[in-house]
Chain A
Amino acid sequence: MTSYLVRRVTGALVILVIISAITFYLFYAVPRDPARAFCGKICQPETLALIRHNLGMDEPLFVQYWHWLVGIFAGRDFVQFGSCPAPCLGYSFATQEPVFSAIVDRFPVTLSLTLGASVVILAFGILTGMIAAWKVGQPLDKIASSSSVIGASLQIYFVGPLLAFYLVDTMQLIPRPSYVPITENPLDWFTHLLLPWVVLSIIFTANYTRMTRSQMVEQLAEDYVRTARAKGMSSRTVFFRFAWRGAMIPILTIFGVDLATLLGGAIITEQTFSLHGIGELAVRAVQNTDLPMLLGVTIVGAAAIVLLNIVVDVLYAFIDPRVRLS
């Protein structure tokens, strides 16, 4: 197990370095000069050259990448921004704050949003899927299945403002979505994120309902499930102890893949509710062609996905003894 983890993490680091190199080259190869963003309206050529030097952009691309990489471990100094202690991912071109601290600062928001939504998605999706599978062909199944189709066709930027209008503005049932640190007030953290969680989960939940249902139906037809019934296990035991285990494996697989999509959904959700998360950073970075921020967000996002996939793989081993972590 330990050696497995060491190998996986090493592999993940290699992947991250490759991703960062590719992203670095892609971003910095755009045919425009970020230095102009730091230059007044009427920009003198010598000022432009000075800025390039300040930003370290007067060096060959691979040297720039090397500095960037070294900065992560050793920190850097920028004339334009001042010192940037390790781990340094550079300074944002748009907000002039260290990229790393900007990301760290916003990470809890996106983490709360994504984890909370994951819980809602898995809990609700699996629950309704199980109910549908339990009552296959019956009205409850049909309600669950058709509402999942409706859910899947909804869009965050449509549902979000709509629910906000009714639940927050009109009925004032819940507070306006914002981020309250869980360490500050867990209840406020919960109530203020409730709407974003629900909105972000809606489309995904529907998918998991459908998946759980079909997986359960499939598992219920498996030989070992029949064996369990032949042993005299009650339908409930068969359903929850045997079939559920089998159905969870493909669902976990899909969830591992969906994590990336979920992060994407978090971006839209953050935009919709003005939450100051990584997603907002990413969108702003794109709008402003803020290369260091884009690079930082990309790397942190990739790292998060890689890490979560390792977690998913470890979870696998717990659910399915046939998977050995060696």
Chain B
Amino acid sequence: MRSHSRRIASMTAVLAAGALALAGCAKGGGGGAPQGAAGTSQKPLENKAVSAIAVGTAADSTGPAPEVTGAKSGGTVYMIDRDDFSHLDPGRIYLNYNASVSKLFTRTLTDYKRDDAGNIKLVGDLATDTGTTTDGGKTWKFTLKDGLKWQDGTPITSADIKYSFERLFADFITEGPDYAETWLVPDAKKPFREQYKGPYDGKELDTIETPDDKTVVFHLNGAHPDFNFTVAMTGYGAVPKAQDTKQKYDKQPFSSGPYKIVSHITDKSLDLERNENWDPKTDPIRHAYPDKFHMEFGIQAQQTTERFLADAGNDKYAFTFHNAVAPERVQEVLGNAEAMKRSIQGLTPFTTFYNINTKRITDINVRKAIITAWPAKQIQQIGGGEINTGKIATTVMSPTVLGYEAFDLYGKLAKPEGDPEAAKKLLAQSGTPNPTVVYAYNQTPTQEKVTVAIKEALTKAGFKVVAKPLNAGTYYDAIGPVDNKYDIYWGGWAADWPTGSTAIQPQYDGRLITDNSPNYTHLNVPEINDAIDKANAITDAAEAGKAWAAIDRQIMEQAAIVPEYYQTYFGLYGSGLGGVRFDPVWGEQSAIDIYVKQ
């Protein structure tokens, strides 16, 4: 899944350090136990997703989804949010926000099923199970369920699935993930569009076989044991050849899920109604209690917060996918017991951190000293406390990633305000007791304050800090080049699926370093590169999780980043709705269990 904020998503480069950590509050909001908000009816947020991600069985993949207690069919559910969905063509979807709504009308081979205890299981969605591989992940076979239909009643066949992958090679589909495309061409090292140009000129992709209407076989150019997680991405959702309107498909996709699009007015509204051709017996994940969804856009977080608090008229039956409680209203909401009953909290897959440019700061003790002296607590306070920012992080992987292990190598939880004395000792070992570091930051009022705190803390430990303000619009363009002239700069990441391969490899595989690649720390340690390859080859998901956690520890031992937050979500919904849940995979509210109270 992609970064949390739509702002980031719609324009990668606009994603500015501050925009996320702070403005991101507007989106991300807070969650978890509020600091100093004693006396509220809050349960502390646990980093619990860890062991709860698992690969389900064929039985888990069988529909219908277990009934939500007390749920009844009927009624209209309203959704109010700031932004319209930037893409609805599955091939162009990378963002959690677009993925959340797509779940109502786009189905994928596999998907995540959440139980009442909050455990996550990867299960077959269109497929009868999570796929099978007999050669360590090079060849994957999926079998489609019986009774699958498009919204016009025609059956969903293996040919449709093959076509859905083929069209991703078209020149206009550039926004989505490209893992499968890279793995499905003969040579993974060469650009995939040079090897196949998509189905629109009549050519097929030989690496996908459809021996019969129900079976799809993928022949990958390498072993990818978690390919079944890959195809759970909305980006690999099903698109019927007969209904492919190319660029226009983005505004009005054809439904394979429980709802179909009645009208979509860009930036204003999206109306969904029940898709009668969707059979609940084929679907282990989705419910379809409401008759209709009416979604409205252009409503700022401040306004959704006020409307949810007022809980009047149709707003009673409204939820929001993405809008969090506005930061300035958080304390008020926390103190409102009635509103807290209709609040949603949870840990999103998004993590933030400060990259340390290992190409410039080559001395590991200097890097360790930076982490040790770092004023994590001061920064969190400037950001408005845990509820508005997130939990202070100490690892690379988020607790939402399979295999996550909690550890704190530099005692940041014990001394979150920084330990200048310990840092001084580390600097003494480095031979440069007073190193100069260049800190580049996004020039926003809050980031200015954060910079002051960082400068103060590092100076106390003996650093000389040069602060370089960067323009918010071009932040990523400035830190993108491998030979950039900065030592420390903020960044954010979310895994594309909850395993270490996308949580760690894109950022810390030293062989992938190029300009503008996500490896902003420029960390290139052979042992880590090797370990990544080994972890990628492990077929058992739990075993792989352990391997990735070990790599996480290796990276933290290298002191390549100062982890900042595991981001949290805190949102509200109307009193007339039941079954509104937090989706830990996408980090926002989920629509699939919602019902109108009657």
Contacts and interface: CB of A to CB of B under 8 A. Distances in A.
4 nearest A-B pairs in the assembled complex, by CB-CB distance: A82-B247, A46-B191, A37-B11, A97-B266
A47 B13 CA distance: 16
Contact of B13 (A37, A165, A280, A281): A37
Nearest to A82: B247
Residue in A102, A161, A274, A288 with the greatest tally of chain B CB atoms within 10 Å = A274
B92 to A, nearest CB: 9
A54 interface: yes
Contacts of B3: 41
Given A32-B13, A32-B477, A280-B298, 17 more contacts: A34-B11, A36-B516, A39-B175, A40-B94, A40-B178, A41-B2, A42-B518, A46-B191, A47-B178, A79-B171, A80-B247, A95-B266, A97-B266, A169-B310, A274-B298, A275-B298, A280-B267
11 contacts: A30-B473, A36-B12, A37-B11, A40-B176, A46-B191, A46-B193, A46-B194, A54-B171, A54-B172, A79-B171, A95-B267
A42 B268 contact: no
B432 interface: no
A81 interface: yes
Contacts of A80: 172, 174, 247
Size range of the chain A interface in the assembly: 35 or more
Contacts of B496: 41
A31 interface: yes
B350 to A, nearest CB: 12
A172 B14 CA distance: 40
A44 interface: yes
Contacts of A169: 306, 310, 312
A31 B477 contact: yes
> Is chain B's binding surface mostly helix, strand, loop or mixed?
loop
A287 interface: yes
B475 to A, nearest CB: 9
B248 interface: yes
A274 B191 contact: no
A171 B216 CA distance: 60
A310 B11 CA distance: 39
A152 interface: no
B474 A82 contact: no
A271 B71 CA distance: 36
Interface of B: 2-3, 7, 10-14, 84, 86-87, 94, 171-172, 174-178, 191, 193-194, 246-248, 250-251, 265-268, 298-300, 302-303, 306, 310, 312, 473-474, 476-477, 496, 506, 514, 516-518
Given A169-B312, A276-B298, A94 B251 contact: no
Nearest to B493: A41
A42 B268 CA distance: 30
A33 B475 CA distance: 12
A38 B171 CA distance: 11
Residue in B174, B303, B477 with the greatest tally of chain A CB atoms within 10 Å = B174
A31 B474 contact: yes
Contact of B178 (A44, A105, A165): A44
Contacts of B193: 46-47, 50
A51 interface: yes
Nearest to B310: A169
B517 A33 contact: no
A284 B177 CA distance: 25
A39 B174 contact: yes
A149 B77 CA distance: 46
Interface string A256-281: 00000000000000010011100011
A289 B473 contact: yes
Contacts of B303: 274
Given A54-B171, A94-B11, A288-B14, A42 B247 contact: no
A289 B19 CA distance: 14
Given A32-B473, A54-B171, A79-B171, A37 B247 contact: no
A289 B11 contact: yes
Contacts of A182: none
Contact of A94 (B12, B86, B248, B477): B86
Given A31-B477, A94-B10, A95-B267, A41 B518 contact: yes
Nearest to B515: A45
Contact of B12 (A43, A50, A161, A281): A43
Nearest to A176: B313
B87 A96 contact: yes
A43 to B, nearest CB: 7
Contacts of B247: 80-82, 96
Contacts of A79: 171-172
A40 B3 CA distance: 11
A105 B298 CA distance: 15
B172 A96 contact: no
A303 B2 CA distance: 39
B7 A287 contact: yes
A94 B172 CA distance: 15
Nearest to A275: B298
A43 B518 CA distance: 9
A288 B11 contact: yes
B251 A97 contact: yes
Given A50-B171, A102-B266, A288-B10, A42 B517 contact: yes
A82 to B, nearest CB: 3
A33 B178 contact: no
Given A39-B175, A40-B174, A40-B175, A274 B518 contact: no
A77 to B, nearest CB: 10
A287 B178 CA distance: 27
Contacts of A47: 174, 178, 191, 193
A32 B474 CA distance: 6
Interface string A197-225: 00000000000000000000000000000
A289 B247 CA distance: 22
B95 to A, nearest CB: 9
Contacts of A54: 171-172, 174
B341 to A, nearest CB: 20
Contacts of B172: 54, 79-82
Nearest to A47: B174
A284 B10 CA distance: 11
A93 B172 CA distance: 13
A40 B87 CA distance: 12
Interface string A282-297: 0010011110000000
B338 to A, nearest CB: 16
B200 to A, nearest CB: 11
A291 B94 CA distance: 22
Given A41-B177, A41-B496, A82-B246, A271 B86 contact: no
